[in-house]
Amino acid sequence: QVQLVESGGGLVQAGGSLRLSCAASGRTFSNSVMGWFRQAPGKERDFVAAIRWSGGSTYYADFVKGRFTISRDNAKTTMYLEMNSLKPEDTAVYYCAAKFSASGTRWPRSYDYWGQGTQVTVSS
């Protein structure tokens, strides 16, 4: 059974940093793309970043370029999202997800598995 477990969320002041982790288990992820999405209250779930497990190619939403960095640790089967220069508008529940198809990396519906989410709150 595939499990994705996020951790690392919390409350931080504007300009601060957080590192989110997503521990994956239950199958081989070497042929997957894993991503981070976020959802603020009353809004749609938005793509944040993704990484191709094999080769490490990365993809970012425009609004996080230069501030967030996605990475993975093959040995631990864990994905990370380093978030710097956080803004109040980054406040949301952050979800990790995994997909095994070639369909759109930035589309939530392309992803097969989801974590439970971790809250990130940035105060002004």
16 neighbors 26 (Cβ within 8 angstroms): no
Per DSSP, 70 falls in state E
The residue ranking higher by pLDDT, 28 or 17, is 17
Tens of pLDDT, residue by residue over 23-50, are 999 998 989 999 999 999 999 999 999 9
Q: Is the pLDDT confidence value at 103 over 90?
A: no
Q: Is the pLDDT confidence value at 11 over 90?
A: yes
Burial of 56 (0-12, 13-18, 19+ CB in 10 A): exposed
What is the rounded CA–CA span in Å between residue 111 and residue 19?
A: 22
